Amino acid sequence: MTPQEYVQQKAAASGSSFYYAFLFLPKPRRAAITAFYAFCREVDDVVDEVSDPGVARTKLAWWQAEVARAYAGQPEHPVMQALMPCAHDYSITQAQLQAVIEGCQMDLEQTRYLDFIGLERYCHLVAGVVGEVSASIFGQTQPQTTAYAHKLGLAFQLTNIIRDVGEDAMRGRIYLPLDEMQKFDVKAHEIVNRLYSDRFTALMKFQADRAQKLYDEALALLPHEDRRSQKPGLMMASIYRTLLREIEQDGFQVLHQRVSLTPLRKFWLAWKVQALGRL
Per residue in 88-112, pLDDT tens? 899 999 999 999 999 999 999 888 9
State whether residue 257 is helix, strand or coil: coil
Distance of CA 9 to the CA centre of its chain: 19
Asked if 174 and 155 touch (Cβ cutoff 8 Å), the reply is no
Residue 224 DSSP symbol: G
Q: Which residues contact 54 (CB under 8 A, 6 or more apart)?
A: none
Q: What is the pLDDT of residues 154-171, one digit of tens each?
A: 999 999 999 999 999 998
| Arithmetic mean of pLDDT over the chain | 93
**pLDDT over 90, % of the chain:** 79
Per-residue pLDDT, 9: 87
Q: What is the pLDDT of residues 141-151, one digit of tens each?
A: 999 999 999 99
pTM over 0.85: yes
Answer yes or no: is pLDDT of 20 > 90. no
Answer yes or no: is pLDDT of 262 > 90. no
Residue 225 DSSP symbol: G
Which fold, 3-276? Farnesyl Diphosphate Synthase (1.10.600)
Mean pLDDT score, 221-248: 95
Domain ranges of the chain: 3-276
The number of beta carbons lying within 10 Å of the beta carbon of residue 208 is 18
Contacts made by residues 26-34, CB under 8 angstroms, sequence distance 24+:
28/86, 28/89, 29/90, 29/137, 29/138, 29/139, 31/4, 31/82, 31/86, 32/83, 32/86, 32/89, 32/90, 32/92, 32/137, 33/134, 33/137, 33/138, 33/232, 34/7, 34/8, 34/82
Grade residue 50 by pLDDT with cuts at 50, 70 and 90: confident
